Structure formats: structure tokens, C-alpha cells
Chain A
Amino acid sequence: MSMRYFLLITCAFNLFSGTGYFFFSGVTNFGDWAAVISGLHPHWLWRMLLVVGGATAYYAAVRVVGIGLVRYVGVPRDQQRRMRKLTILPYFSAIGLLSLAGLLNPLGIQLLWQSALPATAGGQSGLLWLQYYIPRGTVPNRKSENLARSYIWIVIAAILTSVYVVVLGRGITLHR
């Protein structure tokens, strides 16, 4: 179950930030997609497209991840407490990790408040409410298992977190 859960959470992080960024840039006129549409006319139409397209895609992503959690990971839809645990913990883990690593970044703390934290806290917020949008009738395709303690996952996470925070957090210069 742990690998299936890892793949699903990775998918959720990527889908939510990918689709949520459309909406975020459309509303705030800031961030990656604001840079993409800068200079395009009529600007208000492009922003509106980002907002509407982003919201629609985000909602679809929430449904896909929710269905995946039930069908693919095998968490029955009626196990609400369990579902909350499996979605809220990743949300706060990601925020904690990115905040910690962002504190060391050499580009300035402002970037953390303006971009990285909103992208994570807002972008991943679908994890907090996706359990309410899983279609009725969605059932697991596999037997429900518990996520057991695995020291392999824990040790790998501890090592990579250290590298991520200390090395990538401070920045690496890449050359072609």
C-alpha cells in the first residue's frame, strides 16, 4: 500500500499545484502564469481564462485524486477519519518542509511569502476537502490495508529532507 499511496500523493501534489497555479496567477496577476500571459491582449480575457480554466481543472483534479484514494489505494469512502488522516498529514508535511527549506533560500524571504507558501498552502488545499467530493458509489478495487510503519521510507525521507533543506534550500548553480 505504501508505494500506491506515495504515487497518489505525488500525483496529488503535482496536479493540485499545476492546476491551482492557473487560478492563483489569474486572480493575483502574479506568478508563473501571469508571466506567461503578460503582453497578451486582451489581458482581462486571458486572466479570466486562467481563473475559470484553473478552477475547473482543479476541481477535476480533486475528483481524480479522491477517486484514486478510494479505488487505487483502497480506502473505503465511508472511512472518513482515516481519509482525513491520509490527506491532512501530507498537506501539513508539505507546508512544513517547503517553509523550512524556503527559509534558507538566497533569493529573499519575500519569495517564500509571496509565491512558495501560497502555492503550497493554497494549491494543496484540495487535500483538506477532497473527501467530500468523491463520487457516491466509488468503491475500492482492492482490499483495504493499513499503512504500516516502514523504516525504509522513514530513513530515506530523513536523508533526502536533510539534503533538500541544506543543499537545495540554499540553492545550486546549474550550468549548461
Chain B
Amino acid sequence: MPETSTTAAVPQRQEPTATADDILAICAISILAAILSNVLHEGVGHGLTALLTGAKSGLLTTVAWASAFDSRLVEAEHWLIWRLLWCFGWFCVAPRTQ
């Protein structure tokens, strides 16, 4: 039976500009966001936390922070970053209602 329902949702508007977003710009912005996120994670979250809480030195790479000093706080860096960025994300979304 063909769908002839008159109660189907009507699109809010046409899709006039779906292909007009520049692919290079999207990739460039995404790469910068990925770099920033990774540096926040490994560098600030693990590395800086370790140096501030007892590590004398460590090796920072894109995949991990390596140091002789280790602690739960250093491993749990996500919690700090996660909460900060959650607040940031929420700040972006919620108060911008008209």
C-alpha cells in the first residue's frame, strides 16, 4: 500500500546549501580541533598534571604521556577535561535561545 498519509512531517525548509560547505575548510577546522583536543588530553591532562603533582620529567607524544611517576590523578585527567568541556559545551548550547 503506497504511503499517502497526510500527517507526514513537513520539512522545515528545503536543502539549498548541502554541498556548498567547503570540504577543505571542514577538514582544516577538524584537524585543528583534533590537535587541540589531543594536546589538551595528553599534554595538559596527563603531562601537566603529572609535572605539577610530582613527576620530574616525562615524554609527551601524540599517543601517550610516559613518565616514571604515575598516580590515579594523572590517569584520571579525563574527568577534569571532561567536566570543563561539558560546561563549555553546555554554555554554547543552552543560553543561546532567542
CA distance A94 to B28 in the complex (A): 10
Q: Which of A132-172 contact B (CB under 8 A)?
A: 139, 141, 144, 146-150, 153-154, 156-158, 160-161, 164-165, 168-172
Contact with A along B29-43 (1 / 0, CB 8 A): 111111111111100
CA distance A109 to B76 in the complex (A): 23
CB-based contact A97/B55 at 8 Å? no
Cβ distance B92 to chain A, nearest Cβ, rounded Å: 5
Contact-residue bracket for chain A? 35 or more
CB-based contact A79/B18 at 8 Å? yes
Partner of A90, one of B17, B30, B72: B30
Q: How many residues of B contact A (CB 8 A)?
A: 61
Residue of B with least CB distance to A83: B18
Residues in chain B near residue A78, CB distance under 8 A: 11-13, 15
Q: In the complex where A169-B62, A176-B57 touch, is A7 in contact with B92 (Cβ < 8 A)?
A: yes
CB-based contact B92/A157 at 8 Å? no
Cβ distance A141 to chain B, nearest Cβ, rounded Å: 5
Chain A interface (Cβ within 8 Å of chain B)? 2, 4-15, 17-19, 21-22, 32-33, 35-36, 61, 64-65, 67-68, 71-72, 76-82, 85-86, 89-90, 93-94, 97-98, 101-102, 105-107, 111-112, 115-116, 139, 141, 144, 146-150, 153-154, 156-158, 160-161, 164-165, 168-176
